[in-house]
Amino acid sequence: MLAAFPAPICVRGESRVAQYDVFANPSSSAAEGIPYVVVIQSDLLNALATRMTMPLAALGFAGKVPIALCPVITVKGKRLHALAHFAAPLPAKSLRRAVGNVAAQSSALISAIDAVLSGI
């Protein structure tokens, strides 16, 4: 027998956010080392109240990391490591105004998520 969920698990999102849009990190306590997050979630899931994001860390903050797992992504002329192993959902309403879009660098982000999932 299946148990009923007491609350809906999908709620209409608050904002329109495009895949690969980059936002200032909504966590002010972590923004110094991780100034941005990039939305990696498909636009087809915009009805959800959250967006799957990947943190973009300053090169020095990230330390030595494998490039396959943490590719270098350029945002506003700044080189940052995408930390695929720290990908996490954030409330869509916390992502205020996009500062850019890194769709041109999407293959590196997809490969990094693949490295997390497959270990390759």
Is residue 49 a part of any domain in this protein?
Answer: yes
Q: What tokens were used for 2?
A: 């299946």
State pTM to two decimals.
0.83
Q: What tokens were used for 7?
A: 């609350």
User: How sure is the predictor about 42, in pLDDT bands with cuts at 50, 70 and 90?
Assistant: very high
| DSSP character at residue 119 | -
**pLDDT greater than 50 at residue 13:** no
User: How sure is the predictor about 48, in pLDDT bands with cuts at 50, 70 and 90?
Assistant: very high
Its domain, for residue 112, covers 21-118
Is residue 66 a part of any domain in this protein?
Answer: yes
Is residue 9 a part of any domain in this protein?
Answer: no
Instruction: Give tens-digit pLDDT for 94-114.
Output: 999 999 999 999 999 999 999
CATH of residue 25: 2.30.30.110
Is residue 44 a part of any domain in this protein?
Answer: yes
Number of structural domains found in the chain:
1
